[in-house]
Amino acid sequence: MTETLITSSVTAPGRQSHSPKDLALAVHSELLNRRTSPPALEILTELFESMYFASLKTEESKPVLFHVAYVDPQKPDPKPPKTTVHDRWRCVRLSPPIALNSTNLLKIAPASDPRTSSFAVHHDPDGRLTVWGLIDQGNSYHDYVNFDSESGPERPGLFQASITGIGHLVAYIGYEKIAELKINKLVRTAIDVFQSGKIRDVLETAIQSLLQSLQVGWPDEFPPDSADWKQYVTETWLSALRRILLRVQGIRHGGAFLMTPDQTDQGLLVKHKIAYDRLRTALQRHSVATAQRMIASEIIGDEYMEKDVEDMPIALHVDEWIAGYDLEEIRTELGGVIWFISLLTRVDGLVLLNQNLEVQGFGVEITVREEPREIYAAGDAWASDSLLKRVDYQLYGTRHRSMMRYCDKFPGSVGLVISQDGDVRVMTKVHGRLVVWENIQLQLPKFVSRKKPIRRRAKR
């Protein structure tokens, strides 16, 4: 089953149509607000128009997808770090540079992949845009924002932009999304429903269930009431859910997940029943192994290395090594589990999850027929009354409408729908009203150089 919003390719009556120039203006304004000297608006407009028209075509029947970074060829790395890691990005010059236009972008696009590299672009003294180089090691950034690694690099250039689909451009400054153009609609903000808000409140029951399950096997030296540790476990749980949605988004088939507290299958026809709890158990093992490694590392650092003690028990190193080895195995396991669950969405129907992220079935059909009386689009994570906007049920496709019917009838349920074009929408019932969040932040919204250390409680 494939679907998009009925209005995704046309402009609804009364709705403003946007163009690449509007995206250029958004980036130009943001750079000015940050007291950074931006390129001329005409140059930015030419850049985004060239990318936009390239995105409307295909190269050997494949979509054109790539990143660009606006990098000054005279100073490609103006503020290098004091210590350079081996996998840091590097600019490689093209000789001669290539004039930047949609035709040339189509020709050179196969030389890059958004998961690993990007094109370095800039304007010459006469204002002409060129592709003057390529930037490698993009996989570090890609893995980090998609929750496949715990650290990431700083991004090169004044700003960055990507083609992520047909007529779909996204502009960033570093890790922060500035705006995106979807065909003819400019979106300035994305809502992170997982960090706080009404969706997060509904998910809290499952998060607390994971925390309580960790009482068995919790290292003795680590307090179960540690606020830092609870935050880390929570982030791991939420990142697993985000990663599943990102995987489905990348498959470009579309899909849907239903998380419901109801265990009776009322209103559902489950065509393929399974009981797959491996995501929950892997998250439990990941949490315990992380705690064990942190404890061993901190004892080594605090009680021996900082005090320059010559003799150190070898058992500490063994504990740290074993926990680290287990953690790497579990991370690989989690990656496989997330792919397994994501691919279930390629079968028509939704994937049914309970509140512990355990798969109950796939190819699930919703049999609820009663339509919601009212549907509202949220303007923030909390579904604040002042930012709610009433929307028309009939403007959505069949997958969205069926999910709306179920979530309206069964409060406490969360429906997550991924369109074929990559849009992700989340819905639940809030104070008796069905609310839909239409522009969801899935990737990491900002750069964090390292995890905040989790401190164990001193022994008495």
14-28, 214-228, 429-443: least confident range: 214-228
* Calpha distance 160→168 (Å, rounded): 14
The whole-number average pLDDT for the span 422-445 is 89
Q: Are residues 207 and 179 in the same domain?
A: no
Domain boundary among 131, 150, 183: 183
Collapsed DSSP state (helix, strand, coil) of residue 245: helix
Residue 380 has pLDDT above 60, yes or no: yes
Collapsed DSSP state (helix, strand, coil) of residue 426: strand
Residue 332 has pLDDT above 70, yes or no: yes
Q: Residue 233: what pLDDT? A: 86
Q: Are residues 294 and 428 in the same domain?
A: yes
Q: Look at residue 14 and tell me if it is in a domain.
A: no
Residue 323 has pLDDT above 50, yes or no: yes
The whole-number average pLDDT for the span 120-145 is 90
Q: Look at residue 77 and tell me if it is in a domain.
A: yes
Residue 276 has pLDDT above 70, yes or no: yes
* Calpha distance 292→219 (Å, rounded): 6
Q: Are residues 160 and 224 in the same domain?
A: no
Q: Are residues 378 and 256 in the same domain?
A: yes
Q: Are residues 403 and 255 in the same domain?
A: yes
Q: Are residues 86 and 128 in the same domain?
A: yes
Residue 292 has pLDDT above 80, yes or no: no
Q: Are residues 179 and 202 in the same domain?
A: no
Q: Are residues 116 and 214 in the same domain?
A: no
57 or 449, greater pLDDT: 57
Residue 32 has pLDDT above 50, yes or no: yes
Residue 382 has pLDDT above 60, yes or no: yes
Q: Look at residue 448 and tell me if it is in a domain.
A: no
The pair of three-digit structure tokens given for residue 244, joined into one six-digit string: 């599943």
Q: Are residues 205 and 170 in the same domain?
A: no
Collapsed DSSP state (helix, strand, coil) of residue 34: coil
Q: Look at residue 293 and tell me if it is in a domain.
A: yes
* Calpha distance 437→193 (Å, rounded): 8
Q: Are residues 249 and 275 in the same domain?
A: yes
195 or 220, greater pLDDT: 195
What CATH number is given to the structural domain containing 362? 3.40.1700.10
Q: Look at residue 10 and tell me if it is in a domain.
A: no
Q: Look at residue 13 and tell me if it is in a domain.
A: no
The whole-number average pLDDT for the span 50-63 is 84
Q: Residue 446: what pLDDT? A: 57
Count of CB atoms within 10 A of residue 301's CB?
Answer: 12
Domain boundary among 153, 183, 213: 183
Q: Look at residue 455 and tell me if it is in a domain.
A: no
457 or 260, greater pLDDT: 260
Work out the mean pLDDT of the chain and round it to a whole number.
85
**pLDDT tens-digit series, residues 384-412:** 999 999 999 999 999 999 999 999 999 99
Q: Are residues 50 and 165 in the same domain?
A: yes
Q: How many domains does the chain have?
A: 2
Q: Residue 220: what pLDDT? A: 63
* Calpha distance 293→306 (Å, rounded): 18
* Calpha distance 202→361 (Å, rounded): 21
The whole-number average pLDDT for the span 66-88 is 90
The pair of three-digit structure tokens given for residue 253, joined into one six-digit string: 């088939």
Residue 456 has pLDDT above 50, yes or no: no
**pLDDT tens-digit series, residues 149-205:** 777 778 899 999 999 888 999 999 988 889 999 999 998 878 899 989 999 999 998
* Calpha distance 91→98 (Å, rounded): 15
What CATH number is given to the structural domain containing 165? 3.40.1700
Residue 80 has pLDDT above 70, yes or no: yes
> Can you give the length of the chain in residues?
460
Q: Look at residue 192 and tell me if it is in a domain.
A: no
Domain carrying residue 109: 20-183
Q: Are residues 132 and 210 in the same domain?
A: no
